[in-house]
Amino acid sequence: MKVKNYMSPQVLSIGQETSFIEAMEKMEQHQIRHLLVMDGRNLAGIITLTDLYRVSPSPATALSNFELLYLLDKLTVKQIMTKKLVLIDPDETIKTAAGKMLANNISCLPVVKEGKLAGILTETDVLRAMMDAAI
């Protein structure tokens, strides 16, 4: 069972200067939990829904909604993204991918072939592979 058979080759990505608000809206619109962050054609990092929640203001804040929106619009993905990425080759096995995800406590792996982004493998993809193996 190879990564290339379960990964999503169509990857949604954003630029490093994308605002917090735009990133959140894109995740909500596409009902996803991970966005790869690009610097031109190069993979620069990843941002997750958890990352966005982590920097979200507390409901107990004394700031007004207008002040919050202004501040969040100034916050860029580059400031909160994970830059140290754990990658996987599409020819690796699902078992190897699952091991990397467990060892690093992460829920997805960017798939890179010969230095170029080829897709993304999420924990949902790994579960789908495990279901296929069980049948």
Spatial distance between the Cα atoms of 61 and 113, rounded to a whole number of angstroms: 45
Its pTM stands at 0.84
pLDDT for residue 20:
85
- Kindly list the distances between the CA atom of residue 7 and the CA atoms of 13, 49, 134, in Å, as whole numbers in the listed order: 15, 19, 19
**In 3-state terms, what secondary structure has residue 108?**
strand
The residue ranges of every structural domain in the chain are 3-134
Q: Can you spell out the DSSP letters for 71-82? A: HHHH-BHHHHSB
What class does CATH assign to 3-134? alpha beta
Q: What amino acid occupies position 118? A: A
Taking only the tens of pLDDT, the chain with its 135 residues reads: 999 999 999 899 999 999 988 999 999 999 999 999 999 889 999 999 888 888 766 565 655 555 666 666 678 999 999 999 999 999 999 999 999 999 999 999 999 999 899 999 999 999 999 999 876
